[in-house]
Amino acid sequence: MDREDKNLNASPEDAGQEGGGQRRGRRGGREGGPRKPPEERREQSEWEEKIIQVRRVTKVVKGGKKLSFRAVVAVGNGKGQVGIGVGKASEVISAIQKGVVDAKKSLVKVPLVGTTVPHQIMGRQGSSRIMLKPAAKGTGVIAGGAARAILELAGVGDILSKSLGSRAPLNVARATVDGLKNLRTFEEAARLRGITIKQMLA
């Protein structure tokens, strides 16, 4: 009874001060640690990911069928590095995570001349072929599907492309990476031939 009388006699302001003090103390304890500035958080997430394809696959086993998912994921930093990976798991999220890890293991360096590629090249994978051709500034990325995702993640801003043969997303993506991997700058080509750049361009 005494405790109830005290609560009745106490003013709402006192009750609010007591409750608010306790809440502020607990909240202050959680937020006490220093927070990282937004710039550092952005630097940590340098890599950008794009999901090219997610498919449900079945495997016939003893007693029935086993369902799983296959995710084709591309990873790039927009500065000349790009990779493609495949992940398989019983859940979509796990498959995507495995694909990202696989893509980071197979990164390739893309030589860029401004915002385009140095020369025309043909990338091949299986029955898929893709032609990559330099374009003038302001043209944009003329590509579609998996090829567009790979080129944008690599940091290519102006390019012409044409997919030939099979249009399977995984093969097209691998053909695009194959073409970008085999690109050579003028300096590298001149060094391999043992001549100067002026002699090569003459």
List pLDDT tens digits, range 121-137: 999 999 999 999 999 99
Judge whether residue 71 has pLDDT over 90. yes
Q: Comparing C-alpha atoms, which of 94, 90, 96 is closest to residue 71?
A: 96
In the numeric block, which tokens belong to residue 12? 């709402």
Tell how many helices (H) and how many strands (E) occur in the chain. 8, 8
How far is residue 102 CA from its own chain's centroid? 12
Where do the domains of the chain lie? 45-108, 110-187
What average pLDDT score do residues 173-198 get? 89
Domains 45-108 and 110-187 equal at CATH topology level: no
What percent of the chain is predicted at pLDDT more than 90? Answer: 64
Alpha carbon distances (Å) from 103 to 63, 96, 107, 197: 34, 10, 7, 35
Compare 185 and 123 and report the one with higher pLDDT. Answer: 123
Rounded Cα distance, 105 and 176, in Å: 17
Residue 1 has pLDDT above 90, yes or no: no
Q: Does domain 110-187 have CATH number 3.40.430.10?
A: no
pTM of the model: 0.73
* CATH 3.30.160.20 corresponds to the domain 45-108: yes
Mean pLDDT computed over every residue of the chain: 83
